[in-house]
């Protein structure tokens, strides 16, 4: 059926890609369905009372924080983050090396505005976080995908891929990576691979976006240096977020980078939303100033570790172990399951009929090529009891297909 807007749409509308996860929500929200689909925090882990205490800043400073704010971000929050992030950044940043954003997802949007022209290439892990690569696609980017193993992106494949693209006259401008507790893989990029990725960025002249929303949610294992801290030439833009360490409803994130790129991103942000909500920034700042971020974060980590352990145990008990493979994540939100001879789309239909849901793997492939025998499971939202029952149902569906 035609509409008034048919003759007015831009050329990019014809190639828009919606989020498969958002599109399937009507299925997984049905009563009785145990969902491992959406990557949502557990509301039981939200520090409601502590955040309410932080709302006192509206009474004491309301005339300031209810006003427009600067695009670059609320000064006191930036001061806090500069000190709090220094161990991960390798040093204390200057104010003009940081931009406060509407969540870390806005970082990729602003970076694309600053760097990406139509058909420019972005190096990206395969599979990867669809929320970011759908936005990059809508900016006109094309993807140069790099496969992954249990240690994350196989960075040694980058030189051959970049050199071939450059010989064809194509521009490789950016590499997008989730080095810690990857979404959807759950893997962590090794130190050796981190160093090589920085080396290749310097050699071939592409920037890196290091997306790190899960980096502070580590259950065990060694804290590895950020790509940002390993880089001495300013090619890395680091993205952080309060979504997983406080609550996603704040919609407050930040990014760090060279003064030059941060300034360009801030100018684009002026036209996108003027500034990140000053009320939200002030509430987050006060929560941090009162010491709640440091005191409550260990409780969030312990809460999700128990849920990770519950899923690990349930998977080992109920899934057909001869047909599946996964990496036990050391932090973050996700398991990535590879299956032998089981199609994830068909499994999804059977699983939903059996009142359990996940995300089929092909949703996470930027070029829509792969993932037919893979799936993502989020362990943070369901209770341990729901996880046990959900894995039982999922295992039954898998065994029914294998049989």
d(CA 113, CA 282): 27
pLDDT value at residue 6: 84
pLDDT in the model for residue 39: 87
Domain boundaries, the chain: 4-47+295-402, 49-292
Question: Does position 31 have pLDDT exceeding 90, yes or no?
Answer: no
Of residues 368 and 229, more confidently modeled: 229
* The 3-state secondary structure of the chain, one letter per residue: CCCHHHHCCCHHHHHCCCCHHHHCHHHHCCCCCEECCCCCCCHHHCCHHHHHHHCHHHHHHHHHHCCCCCCCCCHHHHHHHHHHCHHHHCCCCCHHHEEEECCCHHHHHHHHHHHCCCCCEEEEEECCCHHHHHHHHHCCCEEEEEEEECCEECHHHHHHHHHHHHHCCCCEEEEEECCCCCCCCCCCCCHHHHHHHHHHHHHHCCEEEEECCCCCCECCCCCCCCHHHHCCCCCEEEEEECCCCCCHHHCCEEEECCHHHHHHHHHHHHHHCCCCCHHHHHHHHHHHHCCHHHHHHHHHHHHHHHHHHHHHHHHHHHCCCCCEECCCCCECCEEEEEECCCCHHHHHHHHHHCCEECEEHHHHCCCCCCCCCEEEEECCCCCHHHHHHHHHHHHHHHHHHHC
Question: How confident is the model over 284-292, as a mean pLDDT?
Answer: 98
Q: Report the candidate in 179, 233, 170, 230 with the shortest Cα–Cα distance to residue 207.
A: 233
- Give the mean model confidence (pLDDT) for residues 181-195: 97
Using pLDDT thresholds of 50, 70 and 90, give the confidence band for residue 28.
Answer: low
> Can you give the pLDDT at residue 12?
79
What is the C-alpha separation between 172 and 165, in angstroms, rounded?
8
Q: What is the mean pLDDT of residues 144-156?
A: 97
> What's the rounded mean pLDDT across residues 344-352?
94
Instruction: Note the pLDDT of residue 193.
Output: 98
How far apart, in whole angstroms, are the C-alpha atoms of residue 258 and residue 39? 31
More confident: 8 or 11: 8
Residues 6+ apart with CB under 8 A from 248: 40, 41, 103
Would you say 393 and 34 are in contact if contact means Cβ atoms under 8 Å apart?
yes
Please give the class, per CATH, of domain 4-47+295-402. alpha beta
List the beta bridge partners of residue 324.
Answer: 339
Contact 361, 346 (CB under 8 A): no
pLDDT at site 32 = 86
Architecture of domain 49-292: 3-Layer(aba) Sandwich (3.40)
> What confidence tier does 10 reach under pLDDT thresholds 50, 70, 90?
confident
Computed over every residue of the chain, the mean pLDDT equals 94
Rounded CA-CA distance 189/180 in Å is 6
Using 50, 70 and 90 to split pLDDT, how confident is the model at 29?
low
Mean pLDDT score, 146-162:
97
> pLDDT by residue (tens digit) across 356-375?
999 999 999 999 999 999 99
- pLDDT over 90 at 13, yes or no: no
What is the C-alpha separation between 70 and 65, in angstroms, rounded? 11
Q: What is the mean pLDDT of residues 298-315?
A: 97
Residue 147 has pLDDT above 80, yes or no: yes
- Does residue 67 or residue 10 have the better pLDDT? 67
């Amino acid at each position: 059926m035609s509409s008034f807007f048919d003759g007015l749409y831009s050329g990019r509308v014809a190639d828009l890609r919606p989020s498969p996860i958002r599109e399937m929500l009507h299925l997984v929200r049905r009563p009785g369905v145990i969902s491992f689909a959406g990557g949502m925090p557990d509301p039981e882990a939200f520090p409601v009372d502590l955040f309410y205490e932080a709302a006192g800043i509206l009474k004491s400073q309301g005339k300031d924080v209810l006003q427009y704010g600067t695009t670059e971000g609320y000064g006191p929050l930036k001061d806090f983050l500069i000190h709090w992030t220094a161990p991960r950044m390798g040093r204390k940043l200057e104010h003009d090396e940081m931009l406060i954003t509407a969540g870390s997802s806005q970082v990729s949007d602003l970076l694309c505005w600053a760097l990406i022209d139509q058909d420019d290439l972005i190096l990206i892990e395969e599979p990867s976080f669809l929320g970011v690569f759908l936005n990059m696609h809508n900016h006109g980017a094309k993807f140069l995908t790099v496969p992954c193993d249990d240690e994350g992106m196989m960075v040694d494949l980058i030189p051959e891929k970049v050199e071939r693209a450059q010989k064809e006259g194509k521009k490789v401008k950016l590499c997008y990576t989730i080095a810690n507790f990857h979404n959807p893989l759950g893997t962590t990029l090794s130190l050796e691979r981190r160093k090589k990725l920085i080396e290749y960025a310097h050699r071939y002249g592409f920037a890196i976006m290091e997306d790190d929303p899960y980096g502070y949610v580590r259950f065990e294992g060694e804290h590895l240096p950020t790509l940002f801290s390993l880089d001495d030439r300013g090619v890395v833009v680091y993205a952080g977020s309060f979504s997983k360490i406080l609550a996603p409803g704040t919609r407050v994130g930040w990014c760090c980078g060279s003064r030059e790129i941060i300034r360009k991103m801030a100018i684009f942000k002026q036209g996108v939303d003027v500034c990140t909500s000053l009320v939200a920034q002030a509430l987050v700042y006060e929560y941090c100033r009162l010491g709640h971020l440091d005191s409550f974060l260990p409780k969030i980590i312990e809460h999700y570790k128990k849920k990770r352990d519950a899923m690990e145990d349930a998977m080992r008990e109920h899934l057909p172990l001869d047909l599946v493979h996964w990496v036990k994540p050391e932090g973050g939100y996700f398991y990535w399951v590879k299956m032998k001879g089981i199609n994830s789309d068909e499994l999804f239909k059977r699983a939903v009929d059996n009142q359990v849901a996940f995300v089929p793997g092909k949703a996470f492939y930027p070029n829509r090529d792969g993932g037919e025998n893979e799936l993502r499971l989020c362990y943070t939202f369901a209770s341990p009891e729901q996880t046990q029952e959900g894995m039982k149902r999922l295992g039954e569906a898998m065994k029914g297909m294998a049989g």
